[in-house]
């Protein structure tokens, strides 16, 4: 079983799927590793570091042709997919429900594909949860980005020249990214308020020293069995939007992280809410990849609307590549330990994790949700 670690070809991507310590941990399972020359240089993981743990260094074309398994961050390009060996295995963040047609060239090569974002969030799979790892990095960085661009300081300062009041940060969506944003903003001394449709998030928000804003949604179910937010009616969404618009007037920073799996990100911050914000205020829309939580968001761009700046970065983890790679690599190691048990492909469809993440096998799409997403896009 030959595993290849390639340079990610997505523009702006800086993360690496497996670092040398992962190679070391997995080599004992009888797996051979081959690494594209220079893959980790920018992270301080040199070719020599990979060689020291038993990997060989090779060129991209040979690796694409010869490797059996490709752990990746993003999906390989269509061109690269067309070059892989028949029946090869790929595991990465495939965005399988968002862009299902992107992996069809690999399906045509009879590849077996695993979408890391579809690993079920059960206790046994916590160490493989790349969504949580990357959301942690993004939540932290969103606050740093806002603090760096705000024309004010975050902490309360009492000086001989007078008192500087603390910044007010408003976080929308208190999942993994939102909670990390709250914790980071609190550490910098800001006063933080947060809003989420899941009432269960309230306790976590308060435990971080922030205020949880609650609204009466008329007792509707806001959470599914898996603990995720459900898509809300327009009326329920509007109640949230009104509360957000009111709170936005006094906020210096809004960080939005709200997502509903498999749907467009909910629109929460209306144009009027932005227009009533204070001059110099910042919005960081972490839901930009899903279309954004702010009406004025332009995914991938930073714009000014009046005196408010709206950041809508698409790949925040890539801006902290060392730690983002470290976390991702550890998640991937745990997944590969399960998938390549004893050095053989363990395609045990009775295993909830393997079944949940497997998108295609032997030239066929095997995941129902992905198949219907493909049908819908056809």
Token digits of residue 33: 């590793």
The answer to whether the CB of 36 falls within 8 A of the CB of 7 is yes
* Active-site residue (options: 186, 198, 228, 369): 228
Q: What is the rounded CA–CA span in Å between residue 217 and residue 198? A: 11
Q: Pairing relation of β-strands 89-93 and 69-74?
A: parallel
Q: Is 152 a catalytic residue?
A: no
Q: Considering only residues 109, 121, 305, 323, which one is a binding residue for ligand NAD as defined by CB under 6 A?
A: 121
Q: Supply the minimum distance, in Å, between the C-beta of residue 241 and ligand NAD.
A: 9
For ligand NAD, the closer of residues 85 and 198 by Cβ is 198
* Active-site residue (options: 29, 51, 77, 132): 132
Piece of 36-44, 76-84, 125-133, 210-218 that binds ligand NAD (CB under 6 A)? 125-133
Query: Is 193 a binder of ligand NAD (CB under 6 A)?
Result: no
For ligand NAD, the closer of residues 186 and 228 by Cβ is 228
Query: Is 198 a binder of ligand NAD (CB under 6 A)?
Result: yes
The answer to whether the CB of 10 falls within 8 A of the CB of 74 is yes
Query: Is 333 a binder of ligand NAD (CB under 6 A)?
Result: no
For ligand NAD, the closer of residues 135 and 360 by Cβ is 135
Q: Is 121 a catalytic residue?
A: yes
Q: Considering only residues 89, 91, 93, 131, which one is a binding residue for ligand NAD as defined by CB under 6 A?
A: 131
- Hey, is 352 helix, strand or coil? helix
Q: Is 132 a catalytic residue?
A: yes
Q: Is 81 a catalytic residue?
A: no
Q: Pairing relation of β-strands 358-361 and 162-164?
A: unpaired
**What angle is formed at CA 85 by the lines to CA 83 and CA 87, rounded to 5 degrees?**
125
Query: Is 195 a binder of ligand NAD (CB under 6 A)?
Result: yes
Q: What is the rounded CA–CA span in Å between residue 154 and residue 59? A: 48
Cα distances (Å, whole numbers) of residue 106 to 77, 83, 103: 10, 9, 6
Q: Pairing relation of β-strands 168-172 and 191-195?
A: parallel
For ligand NAD, the closer of residues 212 and 311 by Cβ is 212
Query: Is 319 a binder of ligand NAD (CB under 6 A)?
Result: no
Q: What is the rounded CA–CA span in Å between residue 158 and residue 190? A: 14
**Cβ-closest position to ligand NAD:** 175
Residue 213 — φ and ψ, nearest 5°? -90, 130
Q: What is the rounded CA–CA span in Å between residue 373 and residue 378? A: 9
Instruction: Please count the CA atoms within 13 angstroms of the CA of 218 that sit on its side-chain side.
Output: 9
Q: Is 198 a catalytic residue?
A: no
Query: Is 140 a binder of ligand NAD (CB under 6 A)?
Result: no
Contact characters 151-190, ligand NAD, x per CB under 6 A: ---------------------xxxxxxx------------
For ligand NAD, the closer of residues 55 and 286 by Cβ is 286
Q: What is the rounded CA–CA span in Å between residue 315 and residue 61? A: 27
| Other beta carbons within 10 Å of 151 | 10
Residues 239-278 that bind ligand NAD (CB under 6 A): 240, 257-261, 266, 268
**Residues that bind ligand NAD in the complex, under the rule CB under 6 A:** 121, 126, 129, 131-132, 135, 172-178, 195-198, 201, 227-229, 232, 237, 240, 257-261, 266, 268
Q: Which residues are catalytic?
A: 121, 126, 129, 132, 228
């Amino acid at each position: 079983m030959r595993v290849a670690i390639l340079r990610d070809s997505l523009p702006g991507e800086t993360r690496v799927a497996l670092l040398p310590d992962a190679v070391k941990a997995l080599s004992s399972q009888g797996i051979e590793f081959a690494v594209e020359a220079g893959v980790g240089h920018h992270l301080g993981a040199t070719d020599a570091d990979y060689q020291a743990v038993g990997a060989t260094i090779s060129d991209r074309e040979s690796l694409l042709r010869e490797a059996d398994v490709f752990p990746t961050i993003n999906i390989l390009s269509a061109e690269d997919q067309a070059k892989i060996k028949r029946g090869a295995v790929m595991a990465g963040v495939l965005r399988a429900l968002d862009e299902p047609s992107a992996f069809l060239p690999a399906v045509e090569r009879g590849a077996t594909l695993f979408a890391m974002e579809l690993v079920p969030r059960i206790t046994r799979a916590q160490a493989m949860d790349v969504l949580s790892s990357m959301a942690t990095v993004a939540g932290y960085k969103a606050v740093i980005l806002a603090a760096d661009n705000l024309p004010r300081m975050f902490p309360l300062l009492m000086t001989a020249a007078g008192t500087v009041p603390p910044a007010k940060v408003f976080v929308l969506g208190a999942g993994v990214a939102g909670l990390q944003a709250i914790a980071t903003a609190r550490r910098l001394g800001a006063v933080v308020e947060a809003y989420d449709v899941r009432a269960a998030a309230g306790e976590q928000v308060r435990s971080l020293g922030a205020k949880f804003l609650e609204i009466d949604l008329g007792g509707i179910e806001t959470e599914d069995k898996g603990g995720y937010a459900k898509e809300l009616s327009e009326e329920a969404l509007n109640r949230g939007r009104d509360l957000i618009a009111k709170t936005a007037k006094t906020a210096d920073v809004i960080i939005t992280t709200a997502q509903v799996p498999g749907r467009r990100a909910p629109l929460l911050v209306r144009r009027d809410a932005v227009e009533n914000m204070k001059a110099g205020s910042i919005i960081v829309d972490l839901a930009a990849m899903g279309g954004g939580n702010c009406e004025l968001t332009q995914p991938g761009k930073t714009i000014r609307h009046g005196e408010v700046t709206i950041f809508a970065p698409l790949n925040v983890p890539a801006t902290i590549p060392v730690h983002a790679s470290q976390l991702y690599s550890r998640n991937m190691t745990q997944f590969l330990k399960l998938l390549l048990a004893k050095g053989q492909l363990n395609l045990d469809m009775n295993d909830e994790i393997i079944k949940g993440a497997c998108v295609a096998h032997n030239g066929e799409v095997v995941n129902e949700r992905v198949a219907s997403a493909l049908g819908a896009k056809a």
